[in-house]
Every structure is written in C-alpha cells, then in structure tokens.
Structure 1
Amino acid sequence: MMEPSPSTNARGHPAAVPSRRWSPRLWGLLLVLAGNMLVDALEVSVVIVALPSIGRELDMPLTMSQWLVSGFALGFGGLMLFGGRVVELLGRRRVYLAAMTGFAVASVIGGLTSEPSVLIATRFVKGFCAALTAPTGLAIIASTFPAGRDRDRAVSVYALFGAGGFTAGLLLSGFLTGFSWRWTLLFPAPVVLVLAAFGLRLIPRALPTSTTRHFDIAGASTFAGAVLALVYGITEVPAHGWVGPRTLGAFVLAALLAAAFGTVERTSRLPLFRTGVLRSGTLVRSMLGAAALNGSYLGLLLVATVRLQTDQGWSPLRTALAFLPASAPLAVTALFSGRLVSRFGTARLIAAGALGPLVGCLLYLEAPARSPYATGVLPTMLLVGAGFVLGFAALNMQATQGISVSDRAQAVALYQTAVQLSAALVVALTAALATGASDDRPALWLISAVGAAGLAVGLCGLPRGHHPDSPLRK
C-alpha cells in the first residue's frame, strides 16, 4: 500500500511525517541545503590553484596570498562555536538566509577588489558565513525529514554534495583562472543568491532554541583573535625571524588572548562550549586525526601548486586535473563509506587512512622537483585519495561515538573547529617554510610530520582485543 505524501504545516512548509515519496517541496528544500553545502565545501579549495595568479597580479608573496586559504578557514573554524550560539538565539531560517546573502556580497567584493587586505577580509567573512550555514543545514534536515530511511537518505545526499565540493572547487578554479582569477571568487554569488531565493520560500520557519540573550561575544572574539594572532606571527617569520619583535609580539598576543578566552569561558554563565565534552577520548582522537589529515593535505596542495605552476610552468587547469586522484575518490565513494565502517570499524579505517597520506608526502619529498607526473605527483595523489576514502567518514562517525544526544551538537562543532583551524595553521607554516628556504623540502618535512602525528593518533585508537568498534571476522 502506498504511504501518504509529506504534508505541510499551517505555514505551507513540509512537516516531518513518515513517507517514502517526497513532495517537490521537500526535494526543493534538500537541493537548496545541499547546493549551499556544495558551495561552502568548494570555497575551501577554489582559491588554491589560483594562488599563483592572484599573487602575481596583486603583488602578494606566498605568506600573504596563503591568507586566502587560511582566512576562510579562520572564519569557519574560529567562529564555529559562536555561530552555533547565533543560530540558537536568532533562529535557523533567519540566520541561514542572512548568511547566504552575506556570502554572496563578500564574493562580489572579493572578486572586484584589487586591495589585498580587502580580499583577505572577504575570505574571513565567507568563512564565518559558512560556519553559520554548514551545520545549520544539517539541523534543518534533522528537524524536517522524519527519522529513519527518509532522514538517512537526505543526509546522504547532503554529505555527497559536501564531499564533491572540494573536487568541484579545484576544477572550477583551474578552469576559471584560465580566464581570470576573479571569476573564481565571483561565480558563487549568483549561485548562492538563486539558492537563497528558493530558500526564502522553502526553508521552514522555526523558533529560536534558546531564550537567553547571551551571545558570549567576549569568548568568541578572544578565541578568534588568539588564532588570528598566531597565524599572523607565523607569516612574519620569513621576514623577521622566529624571535623578531613583530613575530614575538604576535605570539605573546595570541597567548594573552587564549588565556583571556579561558578566563571568560570559566566565568561565563553560558560558555560557548562545555569542557566536559572533551573528556571523550574518541572525540579528542577524532579531532586530532581529522586535523592532521586536513592540514597535511592542504599544505601538500599548496606546495604542489607552487612547484607545478611556478617551477614547471603548468597552467591552472592542468594543475587542478593533476590533483583529481586525491580528491575525486572521496566524492565517488561517499555513499558507500557507511558499509566500510560497518565492516571494519572506525578505528582500523582511521589508522589505515592516516598511513596513505603520510607515505604519499614522503614520496613527494624524495621525488625530484621536475619529475614526470606519473612518477612524481600521481603516486602521492593516489595515496592521499585512498587515505580520505578510508578515514574521512570514519573520523566523522567516531567523533560522536559515546557522546550524549544533548552534547552531540557541541561535539560536532568542536570537531569542525579543529579541522578548520588545522588548515589555517598548517597552510601558514607551510607558506612560511617554503618562502624562507631555497627549496620546498622544509615545508614538505613539516607536512610529513603532521601526517605522522595523525598516524600516531590513529594507532593509539586501535582496539586491543575485542571491542565493539572492531567487528571480528569469523
């Protein structure tokens, strides 16, 4: 017997009732949310291949142009916890639509400006907008699609768009930079505005989930400021050294702001996060493992982009295509990752996934700078791609294992914060080391060390004897 189609509530929005056949309105809502998730995900990668072109036209050294990557990551990760509070107080629909509009405006300003500081600021703003929309989209799905098969299917589509975003960003960046790097920053604006227009009609209205008016701006500003000062200090190393006044001043400021953040959160009546969540060993290992995987990958892409385009004269599109073996496998296998976890458990997949990128980085370190693609770049990219296929979903799933339902949202926010901040820090360190040396080997050693740390964390999580996370094969 055919089950009933989803009904709508008094406002004409889809109601969360069980169904296996979705109405056009539900499909439209899912496509708006997943489409915006795709844009958020591709923003991580869309400027990487364009960095040499942007640097040449705006006279930005690598330590400055890397801010286009780390600035977005800082806005995303540095304000993720604050973004969750904003959504709680103002409501999902209002914040989601406002963030989409802000994202589009920042895209236009970034694509038109020729002032490096303005361009970097727009990347930070877009990162904050992504911090508002990425987790909120998943929350809207959870509250709109009924639990069970419907919600699982919706989350799978959402995750698939997110996994494909990085690959899409590389390809679009390579293609559009061939015309002008400005198009890599401009093209999201009309896409997001169209999605926002549909979202205005399709995203269900919901009341704020918190009645308090405590945003904890002091906590958010001290935390984001501490990370920003730390990254700034790292970028000053090539010009002023590790003990130069500007470098040390930035590091001291970062330490003071971090201490201020700790004080604010301890004394706040409603802190941005509860430290008790970090007592979960699986969450902490997932945060560290994902941070190492993401940071080492983006650092490797930065080095490879400079090596291929600056040293070997490759075009942006050719460079983007060279990176596909590292990014495309995850997009292709995203829907099957749950089966891998069910068969092998998260711990084994995380450890195996950390090994591939580390070996790949070491191979790239030993390869001559002008090696043919088949022997110099391709093996590394294949190993990195395998690492993401094995470890990416397992890390995401392990992060919430054993976490109570009430703490799960904070656990996810902390996990994403670690992922994004590692991107900012590792990319900044990579740029500093690549600029301050006659070759890129110091930067590659750093990336390899980060990968080794991720492997060590993965090995620490391996089960000893029988464990519910490690199904035994008969």
Structure 2
Amino acid sequence: MTESRAARWTLPVVAAAQLLVVLDGTIVNIALPSAQDELGMSDASRHWAITAYLLAFGGLLLIGGRISGLLGHRRAFGVGLAGFAAASALGGLAVDPAMLFGARALQGVFAALLAPAALALLTTTFTDPRERGRAFGVFAAIGAAGSAVGLIAGGLLTEYASWRWCLYINVPIAVLALIGTALVPKDLPVRGTGRLDVAGAVLSSAGFVAIVYAFNEAEPRGWDSPVVLGLLAGGVLLLAVFVLVERRTSDPLLPMRILAHRARAGAFIAITLMILSMFGFYLFMSYYTQAVLGYTPLQAGLTLIINAVAALVGSMLIAGRLYGRVPNAALILPGLLAAAAGMLLLTRLEADTANVLPLFLVPAMVLTGLGLGLVITPTAILATTGMGGHEIGAASATYNAAQQLGAALGIALLNTVATSATASYLAENADATLDAAPVHGYTIALAVATGILIATAIACAPLLKATRTAVHSDEDHDEPVLTSY
C-alpha cells in the first residue's frame, strides 16, 4: 500500500475514533435527566454517569499510551475501538444506575487506550509537515467541534429517540472505524523490556483521579471543604512523587524529556488553559441561552453550531494550511487572543441587553471557535513531534490528559467564580431582577477566563518563540523535529 493511499484511509479512521472520544464527553449530559428518571438515580449519584467516564479516561491515559506502544499502535487502536463499542452497547442496555456507571467507566478505560493510539497513528503516518498540518487540522477540527456536536446530538437523540441512543450511536461509528483499521498501515510493537512502570502507573493514575475528583466535588462542597482540599493536596503530592520516580526509573511511563522541551511545554500549557476557558464558556452559554434567553435545549445547541463551524475553519482552513509555513507562535498566540476577545465581548452582557444573538453571541461564537481551532492543530502536532518509540504514545497520552485536566478544572473553577459572584450581587442588590444576578455571575466568570487566556498567551510567547516544524534526516529517524528559525 502506498503512503498516500495509507494516509487516505488512516485519516478518516482516526477521525472517527476522535469523534467517539470527544463526543462522549458531552453527549450524555443532555440525556442525563431522562436516564435519571428511567433508572431511578438519586440526585446525589447521577453525576457518576459523567464522572465515571472522565476519571477512568483521564486516570488511565498514560498507561494507555504505554500499552499502545507495547501492542503496536494499530493493534491497540483496534482493541480500543472494539472495547469502546461493547461498553457503549452495555450502557445503552443498562437496567439500573450501577450498570450505567460501570459501562461509562469501561468506556473511559478503552478511550484511554484509543485516544493516544489514534494520535500516534496520525503522527507516524503523516511525516511531511504540510500533509501533517492538513491531517492534524481535520483531527483538531473534530476535537474542537466535538463537544458542541455532542450537546446537539444528545438533545436530538433524547428528544426524538431515547437517551439510550446517546450510547448506542457509538456502536456503528466504532464498527465502521474498526473495519477501516484493516487498511491502516501496520506498525511494530516498541522493542524494550516489555515491563510496565508499575509505580509510575499507580502514582499517575491515583494523582490524576484525585485532582479531577477534587475539581468535581468543589462545586457541591466548596473549595474550602476538607474533602476537596485533602484530595487536591493528595493529588499534587502523588504527582510530585510520580515525577521523582520517573526521573530515576530506567524505563519511565512518562519520559521527562517530553515535558522538558520548551516548545512542547508551551503547547501543553496552551491547550490545558484553552480547554479550561472553553469548557467554562460552553457551560455558561448553555445556562444563559436557556435560563435567560428562553431557548430550548435544541436551540441552545444549534447556537453552538456557530462555534463548531468557526472551529472547523480555524483548524482546517487556517492552521492546517499554514502549519509548517509559519512559526508555531503565529498560530497559537493569535488563537488564544481571539478566544479571549470573544469572551471579553460577552462580559458586557446585562439581563436586559437587546439584540443579543447578532451583536454578542454570533461574534463571540466565531472568535472563540476560530481561536480554539488555531490552538488545537499546532499544539497536537507539537505534542508528538520528534518523539520515537513508546515516547509517541506517552506524548499523545500526555496531550489528552492535559485536555482532560483543563476541562475538569474549567468547569469547577469558573462555575465556582460564577456562583460566588451571583451570591455577592444578590447580597448587595436586594431589588435585583431574577436574571440580573446570574448574568452578572456569568460575566465575572468570563472575565476571569479572558484574563487566563491573555496570561497564557504572555506565558507561552517565550516558550514558542521562533519555533517551526521542519524535517531533518539523521541517523536515528526521519521524524519532523522542532527547529528554531
């Protein structure tokens, strides 16, 4: 099979897998009330339908990246697809909450294998910088638009079919991708000791799960809760010990050189804080359009389509075509600032603002979507450029883990800011209208997100300065490497 033919098949197959992973982060959200009624979930336990997936996915990503290298990325990709499809079918057949929660956790387990394998396959298949830019543009577009599409698909499926189809829909997508995997070029398992870094695996998984769960519990318990503080302190301590262990082991789960490269570190910082801000943005737009503007869930989801389309343009038509021709900073920094401008515009909203859709929502959706697309494409490539052997899987897993961490922190942190600002507004304005307080809370949280994005651009500028991807042939590999011009 020629390289071009292999590339033609690899991209749609990997794109389908990326759609599965991203879609399931949000598609169940809208279906949750219906599932709760049918299965008899309590209000206190219902969040596990989402949390179980996120914890298993994020906590096992580094292990999934290593297993992907040991099995061979194509084989691991196939196993991940098959397992994800089976877990989705199991969730759709759930007869009680425990069965649904277990199935969602199982989805997360296989997603943790599937996501790094998919990114690794894309990295090893596309070696020319321009082809790689276009391929990663498609990959990034799905990642950027997938969350919004998940909300829309969840609303449509729940309203016109059943909440169970929010899980069943994964099965035909996974099966088609699994069939297409036969046309993806084979890769060999990574040679090495074959031993798993058990200490690193336990420490990384426990640390990540503790931190993400702390973020999840911060909303109901408060940031000053002993449980939240204990989980955060424990998670940070576990990850600190993990770094010490990885620096000393001969075959680390996460080689420290992945994080030590300045441009790669900048990419990880940029994507983490971009996702943090965007997930808060999606949350507030869902609340604002439905609770304040009176949109139906479907109408609210369709509003987010503007953001999804803009993300497609930013990732495929701009970043995908320019990657390799311009420095990485020329894509990532404008992307961060464009998203910041979109959120800053919304900080001017008030409860009685007129012409909200054309004057505020549409420009904000366009700017944030373009910004997200411009950031995801180059950061995804930077995460794996210059990596070889099992390091590709580790770098891919780290990139996915950065996004998961950003999403969890964004929802918890920005929602806490919004609720605190809302409470303060009500305390100071006893005669406030019903909508004035929450809108004030949303604008304060979006102002914080704007500040985070601007600070991220300032912090990443020296890390990304004058780096571009070029191909250098050397004795070890012909992988693209990061070069300063």
TM-score interval, normalised by the smaller of the two chains: 0.7 to 0.9
2:432 aligns with none
**Tell me, which stretches of 5 or more residues in structure 2 are unaligned?**
424-436, 470-485
2:285 aligns with 304
Query: Which of 417, 428, 434 lines up with 2:401 in the alignment?
Result: 417
Displacement after TM superposition at 1:373 (Å): 3.0
Higher alpha-carbon deviation: 68-77 or 358-367:
68-77
Query: Which of 334, 351, 359 lines up with 2:333 in the alignment?
Result: 351
What SS does the corresponding residue of 2:68 show, helix, strand or coil? helix
Q: Distance in 1 between matches of 2:31 and 2:396?
A: 31
Displacement after TM superposition at 1:241 (Å): 3.7
What SS does the corresponding residue of 2:28 show, helix, strand or coil? coil
Displacement after TM superposition at 1:320 (Å): 1.0
1:367 aligns with 349
Query: Which of 71, 75, 79 lines up with 2:60 in the alignment?
Result: 79
Q: Is the 8 A contact 1:329 1:386 kept in 2?
A: yes
1:185 aligns with 167
Q: Distance in 2 between matches of 1:70 and 1:240?
A: 16
Summarize deviations over 1:337-387 as a string: whole Å, max 9, x none: 243445653213322211232233333344135654334533321221131
Displacement after TM superposition at 1:469 (Å): 5.2
Q: Distance in 1 between matches of 2:45 and 2:334?
A: 35
Displacement after TM superposition at 1:154 (Å): 6.0
1:453 aligns with 452
> CA 1:408 to 1:139, structure 2 compared with 1: closer, same or farther past 3 Å?
closer
Amino acid in the other structure paired with 2:77: Y
Amino acid in the other structure paired with 1:288: I
1:14 aligns with none
Q: Is the 8 A contact 1:360 1:383 kept in 2?
A: yes
TM-score normalised according to structure 2 size: 0.77
> CA 1:283 to 1:185, structure 2 compared with 1: closer, same or farther past 3 Å?
same
> CA 1:66 to 1:435, structure 2 compared with 1: closer, same or farther past 3 Å?
farther
Displacement after TM superposition at 1:432 (Å): 4.8
Is 1:196 the equivalent of 2:178?
Answer: yes
2:89 aligns with 108
Q: Distance in 2 between matches of 1:375 and 1:55?
A: 37
Query: Which of 361, 367, 376 lines up with 1:377 in the alignment?
Result: 361
Structural RMSD (CA): 3.8
Amino acid in the other structure paired with 2:408: A
Amino acid in the other structure paired with 1:89: L
Query: Which of 131, 154, 165 lines up with 2:112 in the alignment?
Result: 131
Displacement after TM superposition at 1:431 (Å): 4.6
2:410 aligns with 426
Displacement after TM superposition at 1:397 (Å): 4.1
> CA 1:291 to 1:210, structure 2 compared with 1: closer, same or farther past 3 Å?
same
Matches within 5 A, 1:167-186: 167-179=148-160, 180-186=162-168
What SS does the corresponding residue of 2:380 show, helix, strand or coil? helix
1:9 aligns with none
Equivalent pairs counted in the alignment come to 447
Displacement after TM superposition at 1:317 (Å): 1.6
Give me the identity figure in percent. 31
TM-score normalised according to structure 1 size: 0.78
1:36 aligns with 17
1:330 aligns with 311
Displacement after TM superposition at 1:328 (Å): 1.3
Summarize deviations over 1:139-159 as a string: whole Å, max 9, x none: 445656786888777666655
Q: Distance in 2 between matches of 1:145 and 1:399?
A: 14
Displacement after TM superposition at 1:28 (Å): 5.2
1:12 aligns with none
Displacement after TM superposition at 1:170 (Å): 3.7
Summarize deviations over 1:96-141 as a string: whole Å, max 9, x none: 2221122112212333436556545544432332232233234445
Q: Is the 8 A contact 1:346 1:469 kept in 2?
A: yes
Query: Which of 351, 376, 379 lines up with 1:392 in the alignment?
Result: 376
Q: Distance in 2 between matches of 1:153 and 1:456?
A: 29
Query: Which of 246, 249, 254 lines up with 1:265 in the alignment?
Result: 246
Q: Distance in 2 between matches of 1:366 and 1:64?
A: 37
Q: Is the 8 A contact 1:107 1:186 kept in 2?
A: yes
Amino acid in the other structure paired with 2:309: A
2:429 aligns with none
Higher alpha-carbon deviation: 94-103 or 328-337:
328-337
Q: Is the 8 A contact 1:81 1:272 kept in 2?
A: yes
Q: Distance in 1 between matches of 2:370 and 2:321?
A: 16
> CA 1:261 to 1:64, structure 2 compared with 1: closer, same or farther past 3 Å?
farther
Amino acid in the other structure paired with 1:354: L
1:3 aligns with none
Q: Distance in 2 between matches of 1:412 and 1:48?
A: 26
Amino acid in the other structure paired with 1:106: A
> CA 1:237 to 1:330, structure 2 compared with 1: closer, same or farther past 3 Å?
closer
What SS does the corresponding residue of 2:195 show, helix, strand or coil? coil
Higher alpha-carbon deviation: 255-264 or 88-97:
255-264
Amino acid in the other structure paired with 2:448: A
Q: Distance in 1 between matches of 2:350 and 2:216?
A: 27
Displacement after TM superposition at 1:322 (Å): 0.7
Displacement after TM superposition at 1:298 (Å): 1.2
What SS does the corresponding residue of 1:274 show, helix, strand or coil? coil
What SS does the corresponding residue of 2:25 show, helix, strand or coil? helix
Q: Distance in 2 between matches of 1:56 and 1:39?
A: 25
What SS does the corresponding residue of 1:44 show, helix, strand or coil? coil
Higher alpha-carbon deviation: 183-192 or 371-380:
371-380
Displacement after TM superposition at 1:211 (Å): 3.8
2:209 aligns with 228
> CA 1:154 to 1:415, structure 2 compared with 1: closer, same or farther past 3 Å?
closer
2:481 aligns with none
Q: Distance in 2 between matches of 1:467 and 1:263?
A: 31
Displacement after TM superposition at 1:422 (Å): 0.9
Q: Distance in 2 between matches of 1:291 and 1:305?
A: 21
Q: Is the 8 A contact 1:111 1:182 kept in 2?
A: yes
Amino acid in the other structure paired with 2:167: L
Q: Is the 8 A contact 2:64 2:397 kept in 1?
A: no
Amino acid in the other structure paired with 2:261: S
Summarize deviations over 1:288-319 as a string: whole Å, max 9, x none: 11111112111211222233334554322211
**Tell me, which stretches of 5 or more residues in structure 1 are unaligned?**
1-5, 7-16
Displacement after TM superposition at 1:324 (Å): 1.3
Displacement after TM superposition at 1:203 (Å): 4.8
Q: Is the 8 A contact 2:145 2:307 kept in 1?
A: no
